[in-house]
Each structure stands twice: as C-alpha cells, then as structure tokens.
Amino acid sequence: AMEIALPRDLAQDVGLAERRHGELCRQKRIFNARNRVIGGDPEAWDVQVHDQKIKEATEKARHETFAAEMRQNDKIMCILENRERRDRKNLCRAINDFRQRFQKPETCREFDLSDPLALKKDRPARQSDDDVRNSVSGMQKFMGEDLHSHQRKRFQQEQNREWSLEQQREWQNARADHRFAEALHTQTRLQLDHTARHLQTLEGSTRKAVCAAVKEFNRNQALESAARRKWEKKQEQEANLTEISSLLRGDLLSENPQQAASSFGPHRVVPDRWKGMSQDQLEQTRLVQKQQGQEKNQKKRLQEEERQRDMDWDRQRIQKARATLLFERQQQRQLRELRRALDNTNHILAQEQHLRKNYMKEVYTNNPTGDYFSQFNTSSR
C-alpha cells in the first residue's frame, strides 16, 4: 500500500526539522568554550573585519588616485614651466631688438648731458629778461641782475618813503591814544579816591554808632546779670533753710525705722538709711536660729539612717553577687558535662560513619567506563 503524506504530517516533520536545527545551533553556542567563557558575536566580528577590509581597499584606491593626479599635475607643471621659460626668453629677445631699433642713445631726453657735440650746439644762457628758457630752476637770472634794475630801485625808494610816513602816522596815533589812556586813568583814580574817602567817613560814623549800641547792650546785660545773681542767691538761701528744717524734722535724725523700708519688698532695706534691727526682729532671728539648730540635728539623724540603709543595701548586693557567682559556676559545670556527653555521642557517630564507608566500599566495587561519562553534555537542555 502506498503511504500518503498528510498536511498534518508535513507540518510535524517541518516542526521537528526546525527543532533539530535549533538544537544544533544551540549546541554550537553552548558547547563552544571560547564563546561561552569570553562571549562575543563572531558573525558581527566577521562583518566588521569585512567592512574594515573594504574601507582599507577604498582608502588605498583613493590614495592611488590622488598619487596619479599628483603625477599628472607634476607633468603639467613641468610643461608650463618650460613654456614660461621659453616665453620669457623670447620676450627678452624682442625687448632687446626693440631697444636697438627704436631706443637709441641719441633719441633719449638726457642725451644732451653726455653729447660730445654739446658745446658746439649750445646757445647763450639768455637773450632778454623775458626769455622762455629762464625757468625758476634754471639759475640764469638772480635778484638785482635784471635789465630794469634802475626803475626797480626807484620804485623801492618810493615804497620805503611811503612805509616811513605810515610808521610816523601810526606812532603819533599811538602817542595820542597813550595820553588819552593816562588822562582817563588819572580821572578814574581821583574818582576812586573820593569814593574811598567817603566810604571811610561812613565807616567811622557807623563804627561809633555800633560801639555806642554795644556799650548800651553790655550795660543792660550787666544790670540783668546782677539782678539774676541776687535772685539766685535769695533762692539758694531759701532752699538751704528748707533743707535744714526738713533734716531736723525728717526720719534720718529722728531714726525712724520705716525710712529704711525698700520698694523692692518687705524683706529688703536701704543700707544708707538702716539703723539696725528692732527688738522684735532680734527675737524673731533668735527663734529662727533655734529652729535651724533643731533641723540640723534632725538632718544628722536622717543622714545616719540613710548611711545605715546604704550599708544594708551593700550587704544585700554582696549576697546577691555571691549567689550569682555560685549559680554561674553550677551552669559552667553543667555545660562541661553536656559538652562531654556531646563529644561521646559525636565519637560514636564518627565510628558508625567510618564503618558505613567501609561497608559501602565493599558493596560498590564496579568502576565506571567511558560510555558512562559520554552520555553527559549530549543535549543543550
């Protein structure tokens, strides 16, 4: 009979194959000691190494391209330098030819300075004062050497006479201004002197009036001061009489005990007014001292009772400490006995365990073979 593959069987086969493949991949990952101990992703590392090689190859190609371009540029630069050198040489040759043909020495502007025939070709320095060759820097005509010197000297004399007359007029005007300024200064000084004299007279009269007013004011002040001193003396005498009478009738000389009472409380007194304690106060003080003596005796009795109580407490504490020490020693003896019993029990158990190990060695005498160890680590689960 021919077997028919159902879809369910195919799905089971596919699932089984996928599980087997996953198990193999898992075994590769787990049983690989390097990956399990160190860790890492070899596929990612391979991809990184591949990318690094591609990057290095790209950089190498790029550098080679740059090197080829540099060599090409060097060749072009050499060609351009040779061409420039050749053009410069041709240009220099053309310039020299042009100078020999069109720039001869006799055609330059300064040739007359070195012309051997200059004396034969030279002309007179000047023919008149208006000669166009008499330039400013030509040094052919100086002051006083012109052809019209006579007329020039006469014009200069006329000009000097006019300057002298002008100076005389200016000097006369200056003297007139000076005399007017001196007269005005003298008049102003006289006016100022008259004004100063008038002001001095007014100042003298004003000073006399001020002195008279000050003298009258001082006299009034002296009268008022004398009256005030007299009134103050009278007030002082009345105050002294009042004070004497108050002292004679007051509590200080009469020794009133109420004057020493302080405003801070009935138990406080004023030291500078206190005349001593009264008879009632002395009796009260003696009574208080007697009571304090009785309290002191009672306090001594209480201290003796407290000392006796402390001695009883110390005695009880010592007894309790002795009982505690005896109890601790009894506990230590019980612990030693328990430890000794426990050691005996452990020794018995150790002997039993040793006997059991010897018995197990006699029972399990078969040695495991290699098949026994090869069955481990066959699955990743």
- Residues 299-334 pLDDT 10s: 888 899 899 989 999 999 999 999 999 999 999 999
Rounded CA-CA distance 208/196 in Å is: 18
pLDDT at 158: 92
pLDDT tops 50 at residue 1: no
CA angle 197, 200, 206 (to 5 degrees): 145
Rounded CA-CA distance 180/172 in Å is: 12
Averaged confidence pLDDT in the chain: 84
Quick: pLDDT tens for 37-69.
766 667 778 888 999 999 999 999 999 999 999
DSSP at 258: G
Q: How confident is the model at residue 10 (pLDDT cuts 50, 70, 90)?
A: confident
Q: How confident is the model at residue 70 (pLDDT cuts 50, 70, 90)?
A: very high
CA distances from 199 to 104, 185, 193, 205, 278 (A): 103, 21, 10, 10, 89
Q: H/E element holding 60? A: helix 42-102
Bin 136: left if φ > 0, else alpha if -120 < ψ < 50, else beta.
alpha
User: What is the rounded radius of gyration, in angstroms, for the C-alpha atoms of the chain?
Assistant: 75
DSSP string, 298-311: HHHHHHHHHHHHHH
pLDDT tops 80 at residue 286: yes
Quick: pLDDT tens for 73-93.
999 999 999 999 999 999 999
Does the predicted TM-score (pTM) go above 0.85?
no
CA distances from 280 to 56, 247, 287, 314 (A): 125, 28, 11, 51
Q: How confident is the model at residue 252 (pLDDT cuts 50, 70, 90)?
A: low
Percentage of the chain modeled with pLDDT above 90: 42
pLDDT at 328: 93
The most distant pair of C-alpha atoms in the chain lies apart, rounded to whole Å, by: 172
Name residues whose C-beta falls within 8 Å of residue 141's C-beta, 6 or more positions apart in sequence: 126, 129, 134
What phi and psi, each to the nearest 5 degrees, are found at residue 22?
-65, -35
pLDDT at 251: 61
Query: What average pLDDT does range 168-194 have in this prediction?
Result: 92
Query: What average pLDDT does range 133-147 have in this prediction?
Result: 72
pLDDT tops 70 at residue 154: yes
3-state SS assignment for residue 261: strand
Rounded CA-CA distance 65/75 in Å is: 16
Burial bucket for residue 134 (CB in 10 Å: 0-12, 13-18, 19+): middle
Q: How confident is the model at residue 349 (pLDDT cuts 50, 70, 90)?
A: very high
Rounded CA-CA distance 198/104 in Å is: 104
Q: H/E element holding 287? A: helix 279-363
Query: What average pLDDT does range 8-20 have in this prediction?
Result: 86
pLDDT at 380: 66
